Amino acid sequence: MDILLTGGTSYFMDAMIDKFTKEGHRVYVLSGNKYGTDRYKKVFEQYDFSYDAVVINEVIESIAPDTVIFSGAYDSNYSKESDQGQIVSYTTGLVNLLMALQCSKKKVKFIYLSSEQIFQDRYEEPLTERDIPKSYGAYQLAIRQGEQSVLNAQTDENLETYVLRLDHLYGKPKTSQDFSELLSEMCREGMFFNNINTNEKNRYTLLSVGDAIQHIYTFVNAKEPKQRIYHISSGNTLTETEIAVAVAEGMANGNKKISVTERSLGMDYHTCLSAEAFNQEFGAVYRDHPEDSIRKIANYVRKHFKKYYQTNEKKFVFTNRILNQLFMIFQILIPYIENTVCFIPFFMLNNRAVGSQYFANLDFYLIYVLLFAIIFGQQQATYSAILATAGYIFRQQYTRSSFEVILDYNTYVWIAQLFILGLVVGYLKDRLRAIRGEDKREIEYLKNQMDDISTINSSNVQIKNVLESQIINQNDSFGRVYEITSSLDQYATEEVLFYAVEVVSKLIHSKDVAIYSISNGDYARLFAATSDKARCLGNSIRYKELPEMYRELERDRVYINKDMNDAYPLMADAIFSQEKMEMIIMAWGIPWDRMTLSQANMLRVTGFLIQNAILRADRYMEALEAKRYHEGTSILEREAFKTLLGAYVQAANRGLTEVTVLSIALNGRTILQAGMDLGHALRTSDYMGQLDDGQLYVLLSNTNLENANFVMDRFKKLGYIANVQNLEEIQL
């Protein structure tokens, strides 16, 4: 299996890499650091790009991962101290990665790692997956928003998304950033003050890195998890004082003892995640004991405390500041020092040229000034002119006095000529450099604009293609809708209810659709479904116990599962007859980008178009049950039972329902006697009847072989032996 891990280097990332590598998987890492400063061991390939980089699509296409684990709350690239820009980068990077995976041709499982940090309130009971987080800090809000983005990004085609929340993770730190706040502060107090202050009212449920990695690995290998959010928690709750005692014992060294001072202040604080759902589904076992592990961590920190705490940092702050200032001054003076050094050979050349037959008219000072003006600009040209003037006056004093040199107007003409040429050429050089810099910045800006335009254009092209495809294919046109709904007319009345679910599936583009029939007021029984996912609520539900959905349906409105609650379908609509709810259409597997008002209207229109057909079929079924029984029994007449059984068998062959047929051994009893005895042991949705062979049969609707055993045991207690009948052998 190809595994893509995202996140900066940390003890947690190292542990995940070790686990998946040892299990024989190929591990890739997306560091999230474009500078490539993080290095990972034992990985097959490392990609040093930020999450919001344009090339993420190419990275995903190159790796084609089976599973992506986004480190989320445990990404060392981000922390609670992250500024607003880093948090925005985190959020946009996650969305960018999800979009790249949605465009991937390979089906991918995406796992987002969150933590208890998103629950920033006081809680008395362990928190389940259904509890709504309360986050107030910018970093915690970003983690929470990441969960929502991940859950909403799931698609039916190629992306399964899940969230795992880890409860108070701890382990042996690789750097000071890997420390949990609690352990870091306790170890610091123990090392520098030989005392740890604690609050007995604070309690923490700790989860070791080893246990966390093992359960993440188990979840990666799970085929079809029942939920999309899971809590992973050891359930080992310790008070702050108990943790401090373990730290003190681990840091004790010879005669050096660490004391623990208890100060019970404020209200009780405890945030504990309930891992009951995860533990039951995956049989999770937690092997590490927090107190033993904390002692080992504290002992390791004591031996390597310089690695985590800089004790001499303040000692050299002033010295470092002076050295930095001197270094900056030296950098500023370097060009002037170079200029002064270069002036010396020109001064010597000018002295040699005086009185020379060939070089007397050659002005080396002018060449010197122009050279520095052309190369370095106006500032260095001015300094060069000053040095040249000083050299000229010094040379003139060989033959004349200083007073004569000052009074000579040729001196001023020469100086003016030197400064004018130097400043003009230097100005032109500076201007040219400024123009080039502006051009470079403008080109860079235009490149960024082009990238943005390219991204926007790609999005527009995608939208255009979708709209174009809808127009060309006319999948949602009125003609197409009528064509699909009118196909129900070709089926017999007893078959309409089964095939109506296929009609709904085609029109709303969902593979997971179920139709429930209202019975006994508060209960709805499953009549037909297109997939196992559509049967997840069970064969019989008390729909009023789903209050969010019931409130919308009762008001004759389409229910949309905006919170992505796993206990509810993604969309649902009710079919009414004379203001009485008769049927409920439920749908799952709808991409989040299609959960719109338009899709809701399509479901409503579909319900209206098939309403008459399915209501007529439902009433026919009720009439079939009420009027075509043998008198005084619950046994259907032969022709009625054959018709009903044929409809169920055909629907079962197309995967629209589950049906089990039992043949009953009468053991000398009459058909009528058996009907009276067994009638009380059947559900309202089950049927008894005879076929041409004269034998008694029982049709168990929406029942598989496993559930049929319960009915067979019930019959056995009444003295009747029932055998499962092969549907292919039944003569209709």
Per-residue model confidence (pLDDT) at position 255: 67
Does 490 have pLDDT greater than 80? no
pLDDT grade for 179, boundaries at 50, 70 and 90? low
Residue 254 vs residue 476, higher pLDDT: 254
Q: Name the CATH code of domain 628-729 (choices 3.40.630.10, 3.30.70.1520, 3.30.70.270, 3.40.50.300).
A: 3.30.70.270
User: Do residues 73 and 87 make contact, with C-beta atoms less than 8 angstroms apart?
Assistant: no
Tell me the fold of 1-166.
Rossmann fold (3.40.50)
pLDDT tens digits, one per residue of 260-270? 887 766 556 67
Give the rounded distance of the alpha carbon of 111 from its chain centre.
7
Mean pLDDT over residues 513-536, rounded?
82
User: Do residues 114 and 216 make contact, with C-beta atoms less than 8 angstroms apart?
Assistant: no
Per-residue model confidence (pLDDT) at position 600: 79
CA pair distance 334, 482, nearest whole angstrom = 84
Residue 253 sits at the vertex; the CA angle it makes with 252 and 259, to the nearest 5 degrees, is: 30
Per-residue model confidence (pLDDT) at position 149: 92
Residue 171 vs residue 628, higher pLDDT: 171
pLDDT grade for 312, boundaries at 50, 70 and 90? very low
Residue 466 vs residue 163, higher pLDDT: 163
- Which tokens hold the place of 622? 């009720």
User: Do residues 228 and 162 make contact, with C-beta atoms less than 8 angstroms apart?
Assistant: yes
Does this chain's domain 1-166 share its CATH topology with 478-621? Answer: no
- Which tokens hold the place of 291? 């107190």
pLDDT grade for 98, boundaries at 50, 70 and 90? very high
Does 521 have pLDDT greater than 80? no
Does 227 have pLDDT greater than 60? yes
Cα separations in angstroms, 58 against 53, 216, 602 = 10, 27, 37
pLDDT tens digits, one per residue of 13-34? 888 998 888 888 888 899 888 7
Per domain, the residue ranges of the chain are 1-166, 172-206+234-311, 317-444, 478-621, 628-729
Per-residue model confidence (pLDDT) at position 494: 57
CA pair distance 198, 241, nearest whole angstrom = 6
pLDDT grade for 620, boundaries at 50, 70 and 90? low
Residue 501 DSSP code? H
- The percentage of residues in the chain with a pLDDT greater than 70, rounded to a whole number, is 84
pLDDT grade for 466, boundaries at 50, 70 and 90? low
Pairing verdict, β 159-166 and 108-115: parallel
Q: Which one, of 592, 688, 596, lies nearest residue 633 by Cα?
A: 688
Residue 640 vs residue 148, higher pLDDT: 148
Residue 393's Cβ-side half-sphere holds a number of Cα atoms within 13 Å equal to 16
Per-residue model confidence (pLDDT) at position 314: 44
Per-residue model confidence (pLDDT) at position 622: 63
Residue 121's Cβ-side half-sphere holds a number of Cα atoms within 13 Å equal to 12
Per-residue model confidence (pLDDT) at position 414: 81
Residue 469 vs residue 386, higher pLDDT: 386
Q: Which one, of 3, 82, 95, 99, lies nearest residue 45 by Cα?
A: 3
User: Do residues 177 and 136 make contact, with C-beta atoms less than 8 angstroms apart?
Assistant: no
HEC string for 268-335: CEEECECCHHHHHHHCCCCCCCHHHHHHHHHHHHHHCHHHHCCCCCCCCHHHHHHHHHHHHHHHHHHH
Per-residue model confidence (pLDDT) at position 212: 92
Mean pLDDT over residues 417-421, rounded?
86
User: Do residues 149 and 94 make contact, with C-beta atoms less than 8 angstroms apart?
Assistant: yes
Instruction: Tell me which CATH code domain 478-621 carries.
Output: 3.30.450.40
CATH architecture classification, 172-206+234-311? Alpha-Beta Complex (3.90)
Per-residue model confidence (pLDDT) at position 491: 61
pLDDT grade for 459, boundaries at 50, 70 and 90? very low
Mean pLDDT over residues 562-567, rounded?
80
Task: Give the contacts of 277 (CB within 8 A, at least 6 positions apart).
Answer: 128, 129, 226, 227, 230, 231
pLDDT tens digits, one per residue of 199-210? 877 888 888 888
Residue 639 vs residue 421, higher pLDDT: 421
Mean pLDDT over residues 191-195, rounded?
79
Mean pLDDT over residues 444-451, rounded?
76
Please state which of the ranges 298-312, 547-561, 706-720 shows the lowest mean pLDDT.
298-312
Per-residue model confidence (pLDDT) at position 315: 43
Please tell me whether residue 39 adopts helix, strand or coil conformation. Answer: coil
State the residue for tokens 């609670």. Answer: 80
User: Do residues 8 and 175 make contact, with C-beta atoms less than 8 angstroms apart?
Assistant: no
Q: Which one, of 703, 701, 697, 700, lies nearest residue 720 by Cα?
A: 697
Query: Looking only at Cα atoms, what is the longest distance across the chain?
Result: 151
Per-residue model confidence (pLDDT) at position 5: 93
Does 481 have pLDDT greater than 80? no
User: Do residues 143 and 118 make contact, with C-beta atoms less than 8 angstroms apart?
Assistant: yes
pLDDT tens digits, one per residue of 322-375? 877 787 888 778 878 888 888 888 888 877 776 666 666 777 888 888 888 888
Average pLDDT, the chain: 79
Residue 480 vs residue 716, higher pLDDT: 716
CA pair distance 352, 368, nearest whole angstrom = 15
Per-residue model confidence (pLDDT) at position 549: 87
Residue 576 sits at the vertex; the CA angle it makes with 573 and 578, to the nearest 5 degrees, is: 165
Residue 468 φ then ψ, to 5°: -65, -40
Per-residue model confidence (pLDDT) at position 278: 92
- The percentage of residues in the chain with a pLDDT greater than 90, rounded to a whole number, is 9
pLDDT tens digits, one per residue of 110-161? 999 999 888 887 777 888 998 888 888 888 899 999 999 999 998 888 899 9
